[in-house]
Structure 1
Amino acid sequence: MTNVTPIDDNCLDTHDINELNSNGRNAQGQANVTSGKAFSNGQAASMNGRSASNASINPAAGTEAKSVGGNFRVIERSSLDADRIGNSGSLTNSRATLLNQRANRCVADPQRKSSRALTIRLDPSDEKLYRAYFRRQRVGVLPALVALATSNAIVQVTFDLIGESPESNVDRLVVIPTSALIVWICLFIALASWKERTIVFLEVTSWATLTFQILFDLGTSDPGHVPSERLGLVLCVIYLSQMALPLSTWTSLPMVTLLVLLHSLVAGLAWAKEDSNITSLAPQMLGNVLLCLASITIGISRCMFLDMLNRRSLLETKSALEAKGKIELAYKNKERLLLSVLPKHVADEMLQDVGNLAPDGQFRKIYMSRYENVSILFADIVGFTAISSSVSAAALVRILNELFASFDVLAEKFHQTRIKILGDCYYCICGALEPRSDHAVLTIHMGLSMVDAISSVRQKTGKDVNMRVGVHTGACLGGVLGQRQWQFDVLGKEVTLANKMESGGLPARVHISETTYKFLDEEFDLEDGHGSDREDELKLRNITTYLVKGVLKPYPEGTLDVPKILESGETVSKRHSADKTRTSLQENGSGRTGSGQLDIVQEGQDDGSSDSSQRAQTGQETPCDPFIESLRQELAEMHRLKAVKKLMTPVLWQFKDDHLEQTYSRRQENYSALPLLGTSFALLLLLLTKLCLFPISMLSIGLYLTGVLLILSMALVTLAETLPNNYPTSVVRFAQSVRESSVLSLLWAGTAWTIVFICDVAPMHVCKSSHLNTSSTDDLDPDSEGCDYVVYSAHGAVVLMLAVTSNVNQGHLLKAATLLLLLGLQALIALVFLGDFYDYYDTRLYGSGNHATSIKYRLLAELASVVLALIVYSVNAERISRTLFYWKERRKLQKKEAVNMQERNTALVYNLLPAHVAREFSTTRREDSELYSQAYDEVGVMFAACPNFNSFYNESAVNNNGLECLRFLNEIISDYDELLNLAKFSSIVKIKTVGSTYMAASGMVMARTPQVNANRLTTKWAHLQELVNFGLALQDVIKKINEQSFNNFILRIGINHGPIIAGVIGVRKPHYDIWGNTVNVASRMESTGQAGRIQVVEECKQVLTRLGFRFEKRGLINVKGKGELMTYFLDRSETEAGAEDAIPNQVPAS
């Protein structure tokens, strides 16, 4: 794993944490730094409705769901609790605020920790990638070497041609241009090649060729050599070499040192050969070395800055790819889960609408479409009651899961869309989401296959169970209703008729309607079904029915999408038996574990999340590692400028997008103080150079010391934002303001450059005033000391130019303007201010009457070459910087879009399944037979139906074929869902809706840890009280809707309590439901109840009476499968009358 050596912990160093803690203790408090502590409020957050709390989700643990103005978002919470230290005696409020803000910034951006580090160490695999990335980036410096070699060649050739004897310089006229041409060739090959070894060879060759050109020029030039000859070029090459060589900062130093030694050797030998008096060689050589050290110092500081930025860029790229990969994986898993429950067009439409509110007073948006010519299949298990009474609830759920999982496989094969699972009833549809002309044929094949599939259950249980299948063809409306626990459903009269076809059918037979028969073409052998004899609705509507005897025309093989599980001949039951070593359901006694939860042991699963950690632990890179390859491609793409060129202006290299340009100009470079520190040390070396070569005066010494102190102070102030823990708050804020303000930043940099420039030219004033007392060079004292080295003024200017180039926060245009300004000032100094000195220097160097080109023109040409090379370098550095910035912003945008899409998917997924179930199914891929279930001992179950809605529903044209009726039903169910947003109903979970029937349960979201008063009935069943109050609230909702719409809808509610099994069956299309006798009795309490009343059995009435509710005895009623049961109606009038002094909707227990 990449090791970052930070100076802080969560952006606070040890000193800060101790400061917070000690001061917090003094104020009877202690600051607690919490990184990423998240919580789940367990409650719903609203989204997409008429009010601020319409629809909601159950957020995942570790996130908090919030709704602001109806816009849904999922956020992770992290904070620094400094409330108790704000009034500390020794810690000021401003200091506490600064530390607080720093911690919050770090928590919000974990990458900031690495950006605050002074060293970033990479693991071997990352270091290898970084070296390749590092080499590729340094190719951008080659144009600067080309510019320097070319301009120097042009200058030298020009001077040779205009000299006294150009014919004697033939070798120079050939070798120097040829060397420049070689550098050009290296550049072209490097830009065309992506091989690392080739690039390394070409970069080293370019540097060696340029070095040879300078040394050859120095050794073969006209007489009049001085030790400082070509020193300006050498200083520039030293700087560019550190930028261009494919070596680390410290590894390149030997090569730079070699260049300095070679220059000193050639210049010294040439000087010694021509001048027997070498007493002046020592100070000049010392001055050369000091200036070279100054150039090296500036180069090192710049390289350190670039190295930190590049390493951070690699870490950010890697982090972004990892985050993107995790987000995409989570997104794909959630999308897979989402699309397994909802059709794609419905899911896409919902994703677009997440967070949007309907205008006040308007209906909520309904996701419902009409489908023509579809075949609907209902299948019910005959003999299910016998099975449920002979096996435990957990075993029953396992049987259903295995059976319905096989049905889902068949549904995929026969192009069916499974709609819902209602207890032991399975129904699906064909031809709706995927229009097909053969939908009726496929649906009948599906029914026949289901009859065959039930045989495995018959063999397992030894019970005479079978499937009764009914099929009808017609039109229907399909979509989702409500705002919670969305499930795709189909509704309409034809759907009701298909249900009647099932109830009017026979075991082990497929029962079809006459409408379905019309879509067949003698594919099946049929016989009269006589369905009207067994179902009154079919008789009432005079429906002719048929039973399928057999298949006459088998469906053509190869036209069906046969899943692999069936292609291999392996049934779901066999697969489940073979996978027992991987998935086991452990029971104790009644089918529950000691914790009340069915344990699912899963082995060998791999969701891909361990790849990164395993790679980090080994620190090795495998050739086929897709992540490493993606990272390598991403880093390579970052240096392809073609994609970015079109976003920037051709000459100015500024982003065309104003917002992007402003963001770039305001960017924060955390190490921008490093080049300024290098400049301060370079200025100190420049001072030592002047002291060695120029007359010493108190003025010059004072200026240099002042300049060094000022530059060093400015560097330290700039460093305050990078190391804020070591600076006072006011200094940190000032450093931030300098970075954030373009005007202050420009003035700051301009001040530093001006100080260096003044320090550089100040000794010249001493020379001017001390030794130039006449206007003629003939009157100058030949033996005057100190001012013989006026050329070092130009070489000092090169150091200043390098400092300007190294500045971080200024663009290439400003740098180019500054470099040209410095060149102009040096020309003014050489030609006007110190012109006489240069003439005197020429006389001493070449002798009187010599017509060689004046040294001042050669120096200005040399400076011009340096300026051109530095401008080219600045432009290329700016292009690289802007390219990296663009990719960084692009990664941020991509990550933001991915996170946004993931949050939208999360919002939908958590509206499909309960939070803990959604997390399980969105993070792991399960096999078809895998079972997810939980056992609960103390749960309340409620069914609330609106029996007179069927008479309200009609499919006339005025109601848009029933759509407007369903829009009204959607409003009713959505109003029910809104109640679940209230804190007083926090223990209630919506299970599902079936038509106009609403199913909910309580006691499934409460803490499972033992409670102190768990033996007290009022505590044990407190959630049941909430469920009854919820039922009363539903009645109030219906009453309000009736008042607003002038309708007369009435609720019929049944409630029961006891143990249940909750789980997901049908892994391909997960369906969350609850099973058990408790559920069955609650359903019967609703179906046998009376409109406007809440009905319970005697056991439930006894518990609720202890909780303060009053009941009216109804008497014994016959319940299917249960015989006669004593039931009671809740007396709402008595309950509300006595509730004044009790918990809401309660009366004191007698």
Structure 2
Amino acid sequence: MIIGLADELKASMERLRDEATIRSSKEHHGFLFEWAELKSDLQSKCIQLGLEETYQVYLKTIYRNYIKSFMRIHIFIAMVHTVAVMIGDQNPDSTSIDGYIYILGAILTCLCSSIYLKKNMVMQHWCVEHIVAWSTGLVMSFTDFIIGIMAFMLNNDILRSCYCAYTISCLYLFMPLTNLLSLMPLTTVVSMLYSTYFTFTAFNKSIEDERINVDLRYLIPDIIFIVGLNVVGVCFRIRRDCATRRVLLTRHLNVKENYLLKFAKDQENSLLISIIPAQIAEKIGQEIRTRIERYKLPQMKRPQYASEFARKLFIESHYNVSIIFADLVNYTHLTTTLDIKTLVETLHDLFQRFDQACHEFNVIRIKFLGDCYYGVTGIPQAHPFHAHCCIEFGRSIIEQISEIRNLRNLDIDMRIGVHSGNIFSGIIGAAKWQYDIWSKDVDIASHLEQTGVPGRVHISKNSLKYIEAYYEYEAGTEKATRDPFLMREHIKTYLIIGPSEFMTQSKEWKTYKNRLKTKPTQKNKTNFNPLLQYTNGKDAEDQMLLDYNSIKSQANLQIAKDINKLPIYKLGIKEQLFTRMPRLDAYEMEDFTANRNISTFCLWFSDWNWESSYNSEIDEFFKISILMSFLILICVMIMEGVNKIIHNFASLLILYGFTLIYASIVLILVWLRPVMTRCSPPRQKLIILLNRISINIERMAVVRIGIFLSLVLCIMSTALVHSMFCDPVALENDDDLIYEFLQGGHRTLCFNSWAVTECVVLCLAMIFTFSHIPYCIQMIAAISITIYYLLIIFIEFDLVYESSLVTNKTVRAEASHVWNILTVLVIYQLMSRHILYISKIESISKWRLEQKKENARVTEESIRILLQNILPTHVVKIYLSNRLISEPYYEQHEYVAVMFATIIYARSGSIELKLLNEIICDFDEVLGYYKSPIKVEKIKVANWSYMAACGFDISVGDTSYSTKLMPFQSMFLLNRRPNTKSLASAQVPRMTGSKRQEVNTHLEENTSSETDTDENSSSSEWQKRQVVMTMANFALDLLASMNSFNATNQLERGNEEPPIMLRIGKF
């Protein structure tokens, strides 16, 4: 039963992919999302696919891992800071106070965060994540504030906040509020608290008048710094949420594609093994897929595979098998007395019963030949009961025909012939493949049937030696003793009476029969198409939707089941080296292999081609990264622009102007393409040129990296602009300035050192938030900036940084600057690694998805080729989409032409299948030219006879079809054309240029003139003439092809061999 349909399957798969979450673009090497709808579009896709709940579960799993990492990092930072405070203080009492505060604050922070690790509590109470985030953020903030407040209250000292950047960054990076809008109130409150604290630290005491006021030149950089931290945090959070959703959606699409691919392969398998046994079907399917892959190669590379494109013979030899022929007695009487519908229904009912009996007795049905039904047993696996199975099958169908005879009151019976021997089995030709068997033993079985008795099983002596003890028998028919063929082969025949007593008591036979009963049916072995269970188009559409929803639900269930297997973090060195490889299924192996293909330190792909492909992909978040860097540059300009002393105003303006103009140009170029896609196509040459530049920036990884490094350089140049014009030697020799500093009246020497540090912190955070930049480039840039800035702090401008506010009285100011940089550097690079890791896992999944789509496409193409080579296209569509799987199908045509072409060949006694295959392939190649206007259909090949018909595709009265003929090239044929020189209908495809157009025009003119002048001739009569002419042309082309074959192969066969002739009959 054929249960695959290329068009329906393709439509179903395209429907699934249209409903899928990610739009694929070959030009963009992957997934493309509109920038304005980046996050909302992903979220809507998750909701649409029913994955939002699964996504929230996955996100909570990730956040639990985040909380664990955060607790470790926070404890480590608190301990290191406490040790630093203890080492630097000479007063043990004050040390213990600061140390206790940091340790206590860290413990409280971890206790608040650890609540989230209780999975059941988080799942049951939605408010837990809010409680954890708010309590953790506030505890961290007040721990930082208490140190400064206590120092002011006890010693009237003003201390700077140590963990402003760290706290705000942790809220965005680690806190488990899955919705950014839920996080914004918390970050706003914490930002306002730190702004208030910075206002307190901006108090400045004047030496002259002992007044205390707020110095805006200190406050403004701190406020802008907090704004910049929130900008980077929001961008980082959006980027991570998008990357996480992409991972889930890609995984979901992969799972769905797995189901689709399995469905497609099941369809292909069902289609093949319903026509061809599995052992041959597997070879054919693989050959089709291989040739499809070869045809995708460039034209210049195909010659090296020319030998593979040659005609292949899919033939197998089998020994010790039994062949059965069953012929319907009085079939001719049925065709003349029954109407077509009743005849088809009767034959369908009968042959369906035969097929069931085939399965019951392990017989492979070969084909129908009109009223003849024949099969074989003992293939593909040989077994000692092959003759028994054939005889039992024959006895079973005799009972079935008796039941049909009584049920329908018909005078019909069966003649059965069984013979045991050796056969060749397989397919020949290039179109309308049909599994068949050949050998002298097959001919013997056919003659046994022809000379048999209705209602009896007629066997040969070869079969008798296998079953002699199992059956009672008698001498064969008189007709068999007079059959010339059987006489020549010395075949002695027998008629089966019935099973013997030995058979009824045979344990071996009973065991074998019981094993056959437990054999799975064809329906159980393959997933049949549910569409076939409905009889009308509306129900089929409903079932397609049901089928889609079923696959969608299965994919969702699989994702929910494998939620803990989704990527969270990269395994460390210990796991890489000492973890044994577990036993994994196919899906788990893909994840395990993907993880092993990413290096631990730099997160590079082990395959550099993968790394190159990843870096060349377009990431829509790159535009947002450019916008973020532009905003950070503006923040840095403001922070440095309010410096108390401007050493070189002209140089400052030039630097500001250059960096701002450059960043603006980059911003415009990067955002030009997405803006232009929403507008009408540009016509101005300048706009077109800029749009091309914008596209190249997105495509070229080197350009993106260059822009990234240049923007980092612009930000750092702006941040260090005052240090460029400050002379550290002159500063150290200014006694008045030094005296004022020692008296506490000056907190800035030459430039605001904390403003510069804050600018560097923003730059480092921006570096690791920047999208689609290799991690090693980010680390090199960040480490280079950090080292350079450390040199500035400790060597070049040590006096300037020594004069700045401290975060603890026992810790030097220079160490406070370094600590602020290192804490932010650690957490941002850690979280950047996480995003990069899941992004690379998503890319691997995406590439595998493309491969699976390609595999599915190849499977669809192979199904299409199979369908074209088994049934007429219109019959397949009707057969598969608008009828029950057990309902017969028939067509009644007003006028068709049928042709039998018998190859007359003086055989030497051996079966020359290679020769037969070459001839049939030549005929099939000629057939390929008769696709239009009237298509010639190959019906079957029976032994050395070739049967074809035309007129199936014509509706009576329909003349609205083209007269242009196009050749058809099968993938199983060489790219050569038959050397025929017959009528114009067959010559049209082989002509080129003006000659082809001339013939087409001539045909159209003849048609037009005939229909215009002959008013008494109906269109149906015209069609009948065209059917006859088409079949006549085809027959002439077969004769010409046969002559060409003789001329080409006569020398190889030997001049003494008579030429192969062709006898053709048409009606």
TM over 0.5: yes
899-908 or 691-700, larger mean C-alpha shift:
691-700
Instruction: Return the alpha-carbon distance in structure 1 between the equivalents of residues 704 and 412 of structure 2.
Output: 84
Task: Give 3-state SS (helix, strand or coil) of 2:312's partner.
Answer: coil
Counterpart among 809, 813, 819 of residue 861 in structure 1:
819
Task: Give 3-state SS (helix, strand or coil) of 2:614's partner.
Answer: helix
What are the equivalent positions in structure 2 for 1:823-862 lying under 5 Å apart? 823-841=786-804, 852-862=810-820
**Is 1:899 aligned with 2:860?**
no
**Cα distance, 1:715–1:132 mapped onto 2, change above 3 Å:** farther
Instruction: Return the alpha-carbon distance in structure 1 between the equivalents of residues 9 and 556 of structure 2.
Output: 30
Structure 1 partner of 2:828: 870
Instruction: Return the alpha-carbon distance in structure 2 between the equivalents of residues 140 and 497 of structure 1.
Output: 75
Structure 1 partner of 2:990: none
Instruction: Return the alpha-carbon distance in structure 2 between the equivalents of residues 903 and 196 of structure 1.
Output: 49
Instruction: Return the alpha-carbon distance in structure 2 between the equivalents of residues 388 and 881 of structure 1.
Output: 68
Per-residue CA deviations over 1:686-714 (Å, capped at 9, x if unaligned) read 44444556457576566446544532432
TM-score (normalised: structure 2): 0.77
Shift of 1:309: 4.1
- Conserved? CA contact 1:377–1:428, under 8 Å: yes
**Is 1:734 aligned with 2:693?**
yes
Shift of 1:535: 3.7
Counterpart among 944, 948, 956 of residue 996 in structure 1:
944
Instruction: Return the alpha-carbon distance in structure 2 between the equivalents of residues 177 and 383 of structure 1.
Output: 102
Shift of 1:338: 0.8
**Is 1:887 aligned with 2:812?**
no
Per-residue CA deviations over 1:586-624 (Å, capped at 9, x if unaligned) read xxxxxxxxxxxxxx65886699631376589xxxx9xxx
**Is 1:350 aligned with 2:302?**
no
Structure 1 partner of 2:671: 719
Per-residue CA deviations over 1:782-817 (Å, capped at 9, x if unaligned) read 766986843222112111111111111312222122
Structure 2 residue runs of 5 or longer lacking an equivalent are 16-22, 295-301, 523-531, 572-591, 961-1010, 1012-1017, 1051-1057
Shift of 1:497: 0.5
Structure 2 partner of 1:648: 598
- Conserved? CA contact 2:159–2:201, under 8 Å: no
Shift of 1:441: 0.6
**Is 1:758 aligned with 2:717?**
yes
Instruction: Return the alpha-carbon distance in structure 2 between the equivalents of residues 952 and 1041 of structure 1.
Output: 17
Task: Give 3-state SS (helix, strand or coil) of 2:824's partner.
Answer: helix
Per-residue CA deviations over 1:972-1002 (Å, capped at 9, x if unaligned) read 1011111122257661111111111111111
Structure 2 partner of 1:1114: none
Q: Which amino acid aligns with 1:126?
A: L
Structure 1 partner of 2:1005: none
Give me the CA root mean square deviation. Answer: 4.2
- Conserved? CA contact 1:60–1:915, under 8 Å: no
TM-score (normalised: structure 1): 0.71
What are the equivalent positions in structure 2 for 1:296-335 lying under 5 Å apart? 296-335=230-269
Q: Which amino acid aligns with 1:664?
A: Y
**Is 1:1055 aligned with 2:1066?**
yes
Instruction: Return the alpha-carbon distance in structure 1 between the equivalents of residues 747 and 190 of structure 2.
Output: 30
Counterpart among 557, 573, 588 of residue 629 in structure 1:
557
Higher RCO structure (Cα 8 Å, ≥6 apart): 2
Counterpart among 486, 490, 499 of residue 446 in structure 2:
499
Task: Give 3-state SS (helix, strand or coil) of 1:684's partner.
Answer: helix
Q: Which amino acid aligns with 2:86?
A: D
Per-residue CA deviations over 1:935-978 (Å, capped at 9, x if unaligned) read 222221111111x33x41523xxxxxx3xx11111111011111
698-707 or 155-164, larger mean C-alpha shift:
698-707
- Conserved? CA contact 2:761–2:820, under 8 Å: no
544-553 or 666-675, larger mean C-alpha shift:
544-553
Shift of 1:837: 2.7
Per-residue CA deviations over 1:662-719 (Å, capped at 9, x if unaligned) read 1112121022110221222233334444455645757656644654453243223222
Higher helix share: 2
Structure 2 partner of 1:1025: 1029
Structure 1 partner of 2:331: 384
Q: Which amino acid aligns with 1:391?
A: L
Structure 2 partner of 1:1044: 1048
Instruction: Return the alpha-carbon distance in structure 1 between the equivalents of residues 6 and 956 of structure 2.
Output: 17
Structure 2 partner of 1:665: 615
Per-residue CA deviations over 1:1002-1041 (Å, capped at 9, x if unaligned) read 1223577723756263444323312211111111122122
What are the equivalent positions in structure 2 for 1:41-80 lying under 5 Å apart? none
**Cα distance, 1:790–1:109 mapped onto 2, change above 3 Å:** closer
Task: Give 3-state SS (helix, strand or coil) of 1:837's partner.
Answer: helix
Structure 2 partner of 1:609: 544
**Is 1:675 aligned with 2:625?**
yes
Shift of 1:327: 3.6
Instruction: Return the alpha-carbon distance in structure 2 between the equivalents of residues 912 and 905 of structure 1.
Output: 10
**Cα distance, 1:1009–1:881 mapped onto 2, change above 3 Å:** farther
Instruction: Return the alpha-carbon distance in structure 1 between the equivalents of residues 7 and 214 of structure 2.
Output: 79
Structure 2 partner of 1:548: 496
Per-residue CA deviations over 1:30-88 (Å, capped at 9, x if unaligned) read xxxxxxxxxxxxxxxxxxxxxxxxxxxx9966999xxxxxxxxx999xxxxxxxxxxxx
Structure 1 partner of 2:88: 162
Instruction: Return the alpha-carbon distance in structure 2 between the equivalents of residues 675 and 1011 of structure 1.
Output: 63
Task: Give 3-state SS (helix, strand or coil) of 1:656's partner.
Answer: coil
Shift of 1:518: 0.6
**Cα distance, 1:1018–1:679 mapped onto 2, change above 3 Å:** same
Counterpart among 279, 299, 315 of residue 213 in structure 2:
279
**Cα distance, 1:340–1:329 mapped onto 2, change above 3 Å:** same
Q: Which amino acid aligns with 1:176?
A: Y
Shift of 1:762: 2.4
Instruction: Return the alpha-carbon distance in structure 2 between the equivalents of residues 709 and 770 of structure 1.
Output: 34
**Cα distance, 1:149–1:806 mapped onto 2, change above 3 Å:** farther
Instruction: Return the alpha-carbon distance in structure 2 between the equivalents of residues 430 and 288 of structure 1.
Output: 89
**Is 1:129 aligned with 2:54?**
yes
Structure 2 partner of 1:216: 143
Q: Which amino acid aligns with 1:609?
A: M
Q: Percent identity?
A: 20
Counterpart among 905, 915, 925 of residue 968 in structure 1:
915
**Is 1:778 aligned with 2:738?**
yes
- Conserved? CA contact 1:480–1:488, under 8 Å: yes
Task: Give 3-state SS (helix, strand or coil) of 2:1030's partner.
Answer: helix
**Cα distance, 1:203–1:817 mapped onto 2, change above 3 Å:** farther
Shift of 1:204: 7.3
**Number of residue equivalences:** 912
Structure 2 partner of 1:748: 707
- Conserved? CA contact 2:958–2:1019, under 8 Å: no
- Conserved? CA contact 2:533–2:883, under 8 Å: no
Q: Which amino acid aligns with 1:399?
A: T
What are the equivalent positions in structure 2 for 1:580-591 lying under 5 Å apart? none
Task: Give 3-state SS (helix, strand or coil) of 2:940's partner.
Answer: strand
Q: Which amino acid aligns with 1:778?
A: I
Per-residue CA deviations over 1:637-661 (Å, capped at 9, x if unaligned) read 3416561332133322211112112
Task: Give 3-state SS (helix, strand or coil) of 1:942's partner.
Answer: strand
Task: Give 3-state SS (helix, strand or coil) of 2:213's partner.
Answer: coil
Instruction: Return the alpha-carbon distance in structure 1 between the equivalents of residues 780 and 9 of structure 2.
Output: 52
Shift of 1:279: 1.9
Shift of 1:109: 8.8
**Cα distance, 1:639–1:984 mapped onto 2, change above 3 Å:** closer
**Cα distance, 1:914–1:274 mapped onto 2, change above 3 Å:** farther
408-417 or 743-752, larger mean C-alpha shift:
743-752
- Conserved? CA contact 1:941–1:1002, under 8 Å: yes
**Cα distance, 1:526–1:601 mapped onto 2, change above 3 Å:** farther
Shift of 1:178: 6.3
Shift of 1:769: 10
Instruction: Return the alpha-carbon distance in structure 2 between the equivalents of residues 566 and 608 of structure 1.
Output: 24
**Cα distance, 1:638–1:954 mapped onto 2, change above 3 Å:** farther
